[in-house]
Structure 1
Amino acid sequence: MEYEMIDKLIYKRIYEWIKYENYINLLYFSNEEDVWLFHEKNKTLKRIIFTKETLQSIHFIVDKMNLQKAEIEHLINNKIRHIELILVDEDNITSQNIDGVKIDVINHQKNINQVMHHKFIGLTKYVKPQSKSYYKRRIFNNQLIDNAITKFSPITTVLIVLNIVIYFVLLFKPSSNQSEFLLENGALTHFNFVHGDYIRIITSMFVHLDFSHLLLNMMSLFIFGKIIEYLFGTWQYLLIYLLGGMLGNLLSLTFDTHSISAGASGGICALMGAFIVYLITTKLYKPKFIIQITAMFILFMLLTNLFNNVNNYAHFGGFIGGILIALILYLFKLNKNYFWFTLFVLILTIFMMLLNIFTQKENHIYNRLAMSEFETGDVPHAKNIVKKIIKHGYENDETYTIYGLIAAHDDNIDSAIEIWKKGVKRFPNSPDLNYQLALAYRSIDKYDTAQKYIDRAVALKNNKQYDTLQHEIKTFR
C-alpha cells in the first residue's frame, strides 16, 4: 500500500514538473516504468526508473545514457548539461554520482520532496489530488493542444487578470457616453496618435467595450495564449502578443482615421498567425489541422463582428504581424540571411505605415464628439469637452467654431463673436470662422464688418453658402 502511494506521489510530482516547471516528456524514450524529462532552460535531463535495479545494471544504464547523449541532443535540438537518474524503491543503493550522472533514490514518502522538489510545492498542496491514472494520462498525452492547456502559463494568466482588473476598475469611472469613456481611458485613435499620445498603441489592448467583448477576448486569449506560451516560451510569446497587437493597431491607423480602437483581439490574432507558422514550419501536423486553425481565426473574426465599432484592420494586421514575427523567430535559428531579409521587410512595413499615418489628414475626434453633444442638446457637456480640447492644446479653427456656437446658445451673440474673433486671430485663414463672424455681424446689422469677413471667407474657399451670404450682405448694405 505504501509503495502504491509512493508511485502515485512520484507520478504527481512528474506531472507538476511538466505543468509548472516546463519540463517536457521525451515520449520517444519514455514509458510508464521509465520516464524521461528534459528542461530546455536548465539543459537538464531527468530519468525516473520505477523498476528495481542492481548496482551493476545501474552502471550499465549510466553508460548507455552517456552514449545516447548525442542522439538525444539531436532529437531535441538542444544541449544536455546535466543528467539525473532517479531510482524508485531501491533499498540497497544510495544517492551518488557515477560518471557525471547524479543518482538519487526514493525509498519512502519522506524523501520525495527532497529528491523531486520544485518551487510551486507550496501552491500545489491546495490543488485537489487526482488518481494515479489521471497523472499518467496527462504525462503521456502527446496531443499538443491538451498539453498546452494543461501547462501552467504565467504570462497568459497575468494578461487575463490584468485585462479583467482594468475592465472592472474602469467600470466604476463615470462617463456620459462610450466614445468619451474610451477616449479618456486609453483607447486608440488616429488623432491622439499623431498628436504624440503613442502609448495608446499599447493601452488600447487592455480596454474593452463591454463585458461580452471582454469575455470573448479572454476566452480566446486563454486558449491561444496558453498554446503560444507553451510552444514559444515566455518572452517570445510576449513579443508576439504585444508587438503583433501594436502592428495591428498601426495598420488600423493607416486605413482608418475616424474609429476608436480598443480590445485585445489584435494581439490574439497575432497569436493565431504565429500558431499557423509553427504548424507549417515544424511539419508535424497535417494540412487538415492547419485548415482547422485557419477556420478558427475566421470564426473569431465573424464573432467579433457581432460587436459595435469592430476594427477588422487591427485583426488582420495582428494576424499578419504574428505570422511575420513568428517567421523571424524561426529564421533566426535556421538561416541568418533570410532572418535579416524578413526583419528588413517588417521594419520597412512599419516605416511605410507610420509615413502614411502622419501624412494623412487628421480627423478631429474631440471636435466631432463636442458637436455631437451640442446637436443632441447636451450643451453643458459639449462646452466641457471644448474646454478640455483647449486645455490639452488640441484646438483648431473648428474647435473655435463649435465653441462660438455653444456661447451663442448659452450666453449671447456678443460672447460668440469674442470667441470667433479669438479663433480668427489664431487661425486667420479659416474660411469657417470668417463665415461665422460674417453671419454674426449681419445678425446685429453691422454690415460693413460682416462684408469684411465674408469677403475673406469667399477668397479662402469656393462655397455656395458663402456666395449667397456675400450677395445678401451687399444687398442690405
Structure 2
Amino acid sequence: MSYERNDVILYQIMDCLVEDYGYSIIRFQGQKQDLWLTNKDNPKYPVIRLNPATSTSLIFEQDYLERVTMFMRRLLQSNEKILIINTNEASTEFEENNFQQILFHDEKESSMLFATFPHLQYAVKKVDNNDSEIRRINQSLRNFQMKKTRANTVRQIPKFTLGIMGVCIAVFLLTQLLAMQLGGDAWTKALLIAGAYYKTFVVAAHEYWRFITAGFHHLSISHLLMNMLALYSLGSVVEKSFNKKQYVAILLVSIICGNLLVFVVENNQISAGISGGLYGLMASVIVIAIENQTFRIPQVRSSLLRVVWINLLISLLPGVSFTAHMGGFVAGAIMSFLFVKNAKWKFLKPHVAICFVILIGGLSFYGLNNNTVKPLYPTTDYQVIKDVRKLGLDGYANYLEKNVDRLYGE
C-alpha cells in the first residue's frame, strides 16, 4: 500500500499526541480511514478525530458521527466539542454539531494546535519515503504500547487493597497464636479476647470498638480466604476510583454500620468478618458504574446483577448475617455517593449526608437505650475473663468481671 503525504502527517500527529500528550487510540467496528484519540485528563480536547479524507461538512457522516459521539460522551462523561484535525488540502475549516474542524497540512499549519500541543512543531516533518515513515510510526507505537502496558500492570496492582488483606491475615495468625497459648479448644475465646463482636461485652463493658475490630477477624481459614478473594476483586475497582482516605472511609464506615445494625436488630451472638465492608465496597462499585454510565453497557450491567444476586443468596444462607451485609451495603452506597465527582448529584449530597448522620444517630440512640442481651452465656463469659487473667492482663480482667457481674445482677 502506498501512502500519501496527508496520511503521513496524520500518523505523525497521532504519534505525537499518543506518546507526548497521553492520548489513546480508539477503534470502532466499520471504522473509516479516520482515527479517534481520547484523553479524559485533557479538559479542552478530550476527544480528537484525525481525518485524511476530503471534508467540507459533516452532513454526509451524520449517522456515523452521532454513534461515535454518543459512545465517547458516555465513556468520558464530557460534553466538550470534538476537535477534528483534517490533513487533506481539499478540505475546509468549519464548526457544526459540536464538532470543530481545523486543517493541518504542508500549506496550512495551525497556530492553535502548536499553542495547545507545542511538540507538534517538531513531530510533523517531511520525509523521503512515506511508506517507511508509516512503518516506523507503527513500530514506535507498538513499542510505546508495550511499555505502557507493562507500566499499567505494575500500577494497577491494588497495593492498598493488598495491605488491608495483609492486616486481615496478620490478625488471623495472631489470633491463632493466642488460641495456642490459651491451650485446648480456645479459638472462640481467643476471638473474643482479640476483638470479635460480642454483644454481652459491648453492652456490659461499653466495648464499642468491637464494631471496627470485628471486621478484621475471621471465624475460620475458609471464611478468611473467601473474604480475601472478594476483597481483592472489589477493592481493586474501588482503589482505582477513590483516593486512599475515601477508600478507608467507605470500608470502615461500612464495617461499623453493619455491626451497629447487628447490635440494634439481632440477639446476643459472636460474629466476625469483613463482610459488612465487602458489601459496602460492592455498593461502591455499583455507584461508580452508575456515575460513569458504564452500567449502560450490557456486559457490565449483566456482571453487576450477577454479583448482586450471588451475594444476596449468600446472605440468606444459615449462619450468615444478612443484617450486617445490608447495613454495610447501605453505608457503602451512601459514602460512595458523597465521594464521587458528579455535578448532577452535587445539590443532593448535603441532604444525603444529613439524612445519613440522622440515621446513624437514631440507630445509636436506639441501641444504647434498648441494649437487652439475650441469651446470656455466663460460662463462656467467665471463662474468657479467666483466660484474660491467664495472659497477665489482670486490669482488663477485673474491668470485664466487674461489668459482667453488674449486667447479670440487673
TM-score grouping bracket, smaller chain normalisation: 0.5 to 0.7
RMSD after superposition: 5.5
- State the partner residue of 1:209: 219
> Which string of whole-angstrom CA distances, capped at 9 and with x for unpartnered residues, describes residues 57-95 of structure 1?
xxxxxxxxxxxxxxx999735799xxxxxxxxxxxxxxx
Match runs of 1:72-111 below 5 Å: 76-77=76-77, 98-103=114-119
> Which residue does 2:333 correspond to in 1?
323
Task: Give, in angstroms, the shift of residue 208 of structure 1.
Answer: 0.8
Distance change >3 Å, CA 297–CA 27, structure 1 → 2: same
- Note the 1:111-190 alignment, pairs <5 A: 151-173=156-178, 174=180, 175=182, 176-190=185-199
In the alignment, residue 400 of structure 2 is paired with which amino acid?
Y
1:17-38 CA distances to partner (integer Å, 9 max, x unpaired)?
9xxx9x987678xx99967453
Match for 1:187: what amino acid? A
Q: Could you tell me how far apart the structure 2 residues matched to 1:152 and 1:382 are?
A: 40
- CA positional deviation for 1:396: 4.7
Residues 223 and 372 (structure 1 numbering): CA distance in 2 closer, same or farther, change over 3 Å?
Answer: same
Q: CA deviation at 1:361?
A: 3.4
- CA offsets 1:304-338 (integer angstroms, 9 cap, x no match): 66675x32211111112122223333587324442
- 2:360 maps to a residue whose letter is I
Which residue in 1 is equivalent to 2:307? 296
Number of matched pairs: 333
Provide, for residues 271-291 of structure 1, a one-character-per-residue CA deviation record: whole Å limited to 9, x for no partner.
222233344453742689657
Letter matched to residue 177 of structure 2: F
Distance 1:398 1:343, change over 3 A: closer
Distance 1:116 1:48, change over 3 A: farther
Q: Is this contact kept in 1: 2:218–2:224, CA < 8 A?
A: yes
Alpha-carbon contact 2:193-2:384 (below 8 Å) kept: no
Higher relative contact order, structure no. (Cα contacts within 8 Å, ≥ 6 residues apart): 2
Distance of 2:408 and 2:266 partners within structure 1? 26
Distance 1:285 1:48, change over 3 A: closer
Residue 10 (structure 2) aligns with: none
1: CA distance, partners of 2:48 / 2:74: 21
Cα deviation, residue 217, structure 1: 0.7
- The whole-number CA distance in structure 2 between the counterparts of 1:383 and 1:162 is 27
- 2:93 aligns with none
Query: Equivalent residue of 2:401, what SS?
Result: coil
Structure 2 equivalent of residue 357 of structure 1: 367
Q: TM-score, normalised by structure 2?
A: 0.59
Residue matched to 2:284: 274
Instruction: Call closer, same or farther: CA 1:172–1:351 in 2, change over 3 Å.
Output: same
SS in 2 for 1:258: coil
User: Which residue of the partner structure matches residue 408 of structure 1?
Assistant: none
C-alpha distance 43-286 of structure 1, shift in aligned 2 (>3 A): closer
User: Structure 1 residue 153: deviation in Å?
Assistant: 2.3
- Name the counterpart of 2:39: 38
Q: 3-state DSSP class of the match of 1:208?
A: coil
Tell me how far apart the structure 2 counterparts of residues 303 and 209 of structure 1 sit (CA, whole Å): 16
Counterpart position of 1:242: 252
TM-score in terms of structure 1 length: 0.52
Gaps of 5+ in 1: 1-10, 54-71, 81-96, 128-149, 375-379, 400-426, 433-460, 462-477
Retained in 1: the 8 A contact 2:165–2:231? yes
Aligned to 2:128: none
Query: Separation in 1 of the partners of 2:269 and 2:263?
Result: 9
Aligned in 2, Cα 1:185/1:209: closer, same or farther, shift over 3 Å?
Answer: same
Post-superposition shift, 1:394?
Answer: 2.7
Contact 1:36 1:45 in 2 (8 A): no
Q: Which amino acid is 2:311 matched to?
A: F
| Alpha-carbon distance in 2 for matches of 1:322, 1:283 | 19
Please state whether the residue corresponding to 1:209 is helix, strand or coil: coil
Task: Percent identity, please.
Answer: 21
Deviation at 1:255, TM superposition (A): 1.5
Q: Is the 8 A contact 1:269 1:297 kept in 2?
A: no
> What is aligned with 1:395?
401
Q: Match of 1:103, as an amino acid?
A: H
* Matched-pair contact (CA < 8 Å) for 2:25–2:37: yes
CA distance in 2, matches of 1:273, 1:76: 22
